Structure 1
Amino acid sequence: MKHHCNRHWTASVLICAALAACGGSAEEERAFVASGGPDTPGASPAVAGAPVYRALSTAPLAEVSLAPSDVDFPNPERGFYRFATDPARITATSLDYVVADGQRLVYTPADLSAYRTRDLPSSYLTKLNTGFAHLRKQGLKAVVRFAYNYPSSEADYLNAQDATLSRVKRHIAQLQPVLQANADVIALVQGGFIGAWGEWHTSSNKLTSPANKIAVRDALLQAVPASRQIHLRYPRDLATWYPVPPTVAQLLAPSPTAAARIGQHNDCFLASPDDVGTYWSASPAESAALRTYAQQASAVTGTGGETCAPPVAAQARMACEDILREGAAYHMTYLNRDYYAGFFAQWQAGGCMAEVSRKLGYRMQLQAVAHSAVAAPGGLLAWRVSLSNEGWARPMNARGLALYLARSDNTTVALPLPGTDLRQLGPRESLQWSGEVPLPATLPPGSYRVFLGAPDASQALSTMPAYALRFANADTAITGVQWDAQSGRLALGTTLQVP
């Protein structure tokens, strides 16, 4: 199989390529053998002993007519999150309210206060696995944080207790199998463990020293699956460790670099001139440099967190123009819907709450889709997809596109489209991919309805509609373009004829 990014082609090009490969005459114009020779544009490489693909050279491309939509569709791994509970306490019904409200993300603060001086018992680890299983059944994903204290007030945090470095490292090692086994329903892991609320300040065990922070960072990088990001509280730490912000190439690499795996959660977004210590510095120039770094790094990793009670109300940036400007600048992917209410009231009054909800994270809007109208079993199906990202950030986790062929007897064939990792698409960017995918040699003849989907990368979740990405496109009765909620795929209103 073969794919191209930003490659333009037409049906006539495919016809010419086919005839050139076959040395075809006018009589052979209706059928050709795609042998995949080196001089055949767009053909798959020849493999000794491989079956010969047969396709119809005159097969037209089915072009799909698409319309945008402003509806705030629920989508996984982005948007407003709801405050849940310790993942070990999540039940089969405790998060029904999240699903009912149309959200797909929850924040689960795991409370390790009972284990500051001892190992995590197997019973707790078992309950964690059970809680994640309940998340999976309800179609939700979690922002996870483990901490040794959750002070009940802003004044209590000074007395908050955490654990020794050796105990922290032991606990992270114990949690590694749980994190690995449940990576499919973990959107990301926040640093946690150090200090009050696990926010990497006010440690009772000197865990905020540079060496101890690095030790906890490295333990987390080892325990958290490489497919998932870790978000830490302070941009100063990231800028110290990785002075050059990460690149998209580092993010998309088979083994992403540590810099591309670590983002930021800002837990006092917009609440004061320095976001209540987030960008604190002895000099205004350094504070400005930290903000610039955070904006550049978050273009790759995204940012999340919450607002908080402003220390001085007049200094908080609570207007619509503030959130719309800084949400885009810092590539906000997720935000706590349960705190702080004062900001939400201002956004509601200013008329931008719906736009904020739509813009958080990614928002993939299809511009054009085309595919072969006719293809033979064992032959190549040509495809082209153009789309744009209308959100504030690129997707945090890998996710690709797939075409689905459905017969009237409900038989469905999935055709993943190689090279279509949606993380390639940053905010306000557009991409076009095109290529060819082989059809199964045993594909029965007939007429197939064609669907486009963006399923979860996890095999366990790939067929669950709640975990499918929904495109920001409107249903159109005339063309037959319609979101199929039962499968989590977009019906393109087109068909593929298999002779």
Structure 2
Amino acid sequence: MLIRFKRGAKEEKTVGQGSGRRKAEKSDSAGQGSGRRKAGKLDSAGQGSGRRKAGKPDSAGQDSGRRESEGQREARVFQAAEFRESSEELSNPGCGWYHVYTFRAQPPADGRPVEEEAWLDESCRAEQLALALIDIGDFRLMPLSREALLHIGRIMEFFHKNRKQLLLRFAYDTEGRGMEREPLTLSMVKRHMEQIGEAIRPYMEDILVMQGIFVGNWGEMHGSKFLDSASMCELIDTLYRITEGRCFLAVRTPAQWRRAAEGTANWRGTAERTVRQQGTAEGTASWRVTTERTVGQQGTAEGAASWQGTVEGTAGQRGAAEGTAGWRRTAERTMGQRGREEGVEGRLALFNDGIFGSPTDMGTYSTASRSEAGETGSWSREEELVWQERYMDSVPGGGEILSGRPLKSYRQAAEELGKMHASYLNSIYHPEQLDYWRNEKAEEPGCWHGLSGYDYIGRHLGYRFFVQNITIKKQQLQITIKNCGFGNLCQEAECFLVSEKEQSSLSCRKLDTDARNWKSGQETMLTAVLSREEDTAGSRLYLLLRRKADGHILRFANEGADEKVPLGEFLKG
């Protein structure tokens, strides 16, 4: 259905919008409307103009006192494009299916190149993401060798050349024997992190998420002696420093995230001073009130450096003060609201390699209620999904699907993956559950009808933006966008209004919006006042979105859209 807006006439109509006839609009500050005007003196160019007082520059940056009246402009009609959702795979960065590629940090004895270790078949090449799992267990008792660090660099270069964005995991164990294969001391783990930081830092733009903190079975943060709150927070802080806060860091469970967030809140300088001053008074009501107030006020002004000293000095002293009701409410509220703000907590995400494997996702959750387990404990599946839906909407999450009993239909899976804000999933594991989805047919109407359940889920991973509607009134453009994906855009992007003339001239201006706030399942309205050049006969309008870091185009889920979405065209009226 076409929407036509006639410009430069006495009336403005919306056809097919159910608005009926509308009365003539009075002329606005830019001289719109065709009412009569008194003749004025000739201006310096010898042309007749209506007598108008000099005005301030209007929204298009022109002096309204020198503009000709709208009634004298050529009449034009805006013909909106047809907006139909597409089920096409968009292949946008930062989301989708991935394969796992496993390496040893110790170079192969036969000297074979990385290309032979990590063969990319055609299905892999179509994926935007890859998970690189690098086994460093050979060095549990010693620093990484120079040869190992060079080999890690070659692995990173391989994925860089193949234009893969990485989910990166270093692990001491790839056989389920974490306790046996991890270092004896925390200091050795930190030493390895510092060394690896030097090797991967040139490739930080290629890393979306670093999963885990090197320890545990398969690097999944279970089955390790370094998972007490103080050790875990110290390792997270070390990772944050070596990556310079330039990628997301993911822990294995929501309970670990909350424990890390609790440690993060205590990094704050004021909280640190308060704790030092109060000494053994920690845990008293006055300490709780002070901490609640200061954590809520400080935001992210102070960095993670002060956190390490605080944790080392106070972790053993907090005792019952940890997790008090007042502090927990404040920490939960502020952590959820800060989202992408500066600091390690704004970069902290989840990865789940037990999705659908059991009612607890193989220990990701528990059977205890929130009230029974406490704020930093592990809760029931239902409560943890509610928590993730609320607090994990600004970071990328995902993992591996397992085949539980009974198997999950694509509709059941889509509902839960939406609550997780899932951005990525393993494309080959577990095959029984994935094949079950492949054999299902989507029942949703429109473009999704008849598509396989597997494709339906894959094409909703992460963000999926769809331009739904456009209106123009008094030079004000309104664009309605819906995020149809499970997740959200987690990296900064720039949105542009593009104007193209019949003579192929092109203009482009950035709109004041942050696409990271175009939330999953919600509609967002963009507004912009059209310039005189954009609002002329022969002008075609488009919307374009690109990632700020590298200019990568982020495609919209509109039929007929390529790098930019057609919005419509001004025709001669």
Question: Considering the TM-score relative to the shorter chain, is it more than 0.5?
Answer: yes
Cα distance in 2 for partners of 1:446, 1:252 equals 42
Given that residues 352 and 364 in structure 2 are in contact (C-alpha distance below 8 angstroms), is that contact kept between their aligned partners in structure 1?
Answer: yes
Secondary structure of residue in 1 paired with 2:493: coil
Cα-Cα RMSD: 4.3
Q: Does 1:97 align with 2:122?
A: yes
The residue number in structure 1 matching 2:253 is: 234
- State the 1:158 CA deviation: 5.9
Deviates more, 1:259-268 or 1:394-403: 394-403
| Separation in 2, partners of 1:131, 1:495 | 52
Corresponding residue number in structure 1 for 2:338: 250
- 2:525 matched residue in structure 1: 432
Summarize the Cα distance change of 1:448–1:345 in structure 2 as closer, same or farther, 3 Å threshold. Answer: same
Question: How has the CA–CA distance of structure 1 residues 450 and 91 changed in structure 2, closer, same or farther, with 3 Å as cutoff?
Answer: farther
Correspondence for 2:162 among 101, 120, 138: 138
Give runs of aligned pairs for residues 82-481 of structure 1, distance below 5 A: 82-86=99-103, 91=115, 94-95=119-120, 97-98=122-123, 100=125, 102-151=126-175, 156=177, 159-162=180-183, 164-203=185-224, 206-242=225-261, 243=328, 244=332, 249-253=337-341, 255=342, 257-280=343-366, 285-286=372-373, 287-288=379-380, 289-308=383-402, 310=404, 314=405, 317-351=407-441, 352-369=453-470, 384-404=478-498, 414-418=508-512, 420-435=513-528, 450-458=541-549, 461-462=550-551, 467-475=552-560
- Give me the whole-angstrom Cα distance separating, in 1, the residues matched to 2:162 and 2:66: 44
d(CA) in 1 for partners of 2:237, 2:558: 42
Query: What is the CA-CA distance between 1:331 and the residue it aligns to?
Result: 1.6
Q: Pick from 29, 37, 50 the counterpart of residue 17 of structure 1.
A: 29
Contact 2:463–2:483 under 8 Å retained in 1? yes
Residues 212 and 194 of structure 1: CA distance in aligned 2, closer, same or farther (over 3 Å): same
Q: Please state how far the C-alpha of 1:67 moved relative to its aligned partner.
A: 1.7
Q: Is the 8 A contact 2:172 2:178 kept in 1?
A: no
1:377-424 Cα deviation digits (max 9, x unpaired): xxxx97543210011111122223123456899886653323x22110
Question: Structure 1 residues 112, 169: CA separation in 2 closer, same or farther (over 3 Å shift)?
Answer: same
- Deviation at residue 267 of structure 1 after TM alignment: 0.8
Residue identity opposite 1:107 in structure 2:
L
Question: Which residue pairs with 1:6 in the alignment?
Answer: none
CA change 1:468–1:124 in 2 (3 A) is farther
Residues 304, 496 of structure 1: alpha-carbon distance in 2 compared, 3 angstrom cutoff: farther
User: Who is 1:3 aligned against?
Assistant: none
Q: Greater CA deviation, 52-61 or 338-347? A: 52-61
Q: Distance in 1 between matches of 2:468 and 2:167?
A: 31
Count, aligned residues: 437
- Residue 267 of structure 1 aligns to a residue whose secondary structure is strand
Which deviates more, 284-293 or 258-267?
Answer: 284-293
**Deviations 1:406-447 (Å, cap 9, x if unpaired)?**
6899886653323x221102111011112359899xxxx998
Kept in 2, the 8 Å contact 1:270–1:307? The answer is: yes
Structure 1 residues 298 and 137: alpha-carbon distance in aligned structure 2, compared to 1, 3 A threshold: same
Counterpart amino acid of residue 339 in structure 2: L
| C-alpha distance 129-421 of structure 1, shift in aligned 2 (>3 A) | farther
Q: Which consecutive unaligned segments of at least 5 residues does structure 1 have?
A: 1-9, 374-380, 476-481
The answer on whether the counterparts of 1:162 and 1:195 sit within 8 Å (CA) in structure 2 is: no
Could you tell me whether the CA contact under 8 Å between 1:417 and 1:437 is conserved in 2? Answer: no
Separation in structure 2 between the aligned mates of residue 191 and residue 453 of structure 1, nearest angstrom: 35
- Work out the CA distance in 1 between the residues paired with 2:363 and 2:60: 57
SS in structure 2 opposite 1:334? strand
Please give the secondary structure, in 2, of the residue aligned with 1:402.
strand
Task: Give the structure, 1 or 2, with the largest relative contact order (CA under 8 Å, sep 6 or more).
Answer: 1
- For 2:80 and 2:494, locate their aligned partners in 1 and report how far apart those are by CA, in whole Å: 21
Normalising by structure 2, we get a TM-score of 0.64
1:85-109 residue CA offsets vs partner (Å, 9 max, x unmatched): 4498754994353454x32111111
| Rounded Cα–Cα distance in structure 1 between residues aligned with 2:508 and 2:402 | 45
In 1, Cα distance between equivalents of 2:362 and 2:65: 63
**Contact kept in structure 1, 2:484 and 2:520, CA below 8 Å:** yes
Q: Distance in 2 between matches of 1:235 and 1:67?
A: 38
Against the structure 1 CA distance between its residues 407 and 122, is the aligned structure 2 distance closer, same or farther, given a 3 Å change threshold?
Answer: farther
1:318 maps to a residue whose letter is K
1:334-360 Cα shifts (integer Å, max 9, x gaps): 111121112112222333222211222
2-structure distance, mates of 1:131, 1:364: 33
Q: Summarize deviations over 1:113-160 as a string: whole Å, max 9, x none.
A: 233333344554455455444434433211111112211xx5x55644
* Native 8 Å contact 1:148 1:163 kept in 2: no
Q: Partners of 1:15 and 1:137 in 2: how far apart?
A: 57
Distance 1:267 1:228 in 2: 20
Q: Does the 8 A contact of 2:60 with 2:530 survive in 1?
A: no
Q: Relative to structure 2, which stretch is displaced further, 162-171 or 337-346?
A: 162-171
In the alignment, the residues of structure 1 paired with residue 335 and residue 532 of structure 2 have an alpha-carbon distance, to the nearest angstrom, of: 35
8 Å Cα contact 1:62/1:371 also seen in 2: no
Q: Given the superposition, is the C-alpha separation of residues 342 and 299 from structure 1 closer, same or farther in structure 2, using an over 3 Å criterion?
A: same
Letter in 2 for 1:431: T
User: Can you list the C-alpha shifts for 1:288-311, whole angstroms capped at 9, x where unaligned?
Assistant: 24444333222333421112354x
Q: The residue matched to 2:232 in structure 1 has which SS?
A: helix
Structure 2 residue runs of 5 or longer lacking an equivalent are: 1-6, 13-24, 39-47, 106-112, 262-327, 374-378, 442-452
Percent identity, please.
21
Amino acid in structure 2 at the alignment position of 1:138: N
C-alpha spacing 1:147/1:470, structure 2 compared with 1 (3 Å): same
Name the larger-Rg structure: 2
Q: Does 1:65 align with 2:82?
A: yes
SS of alignment partner, residue 386 of structure 1 = strand
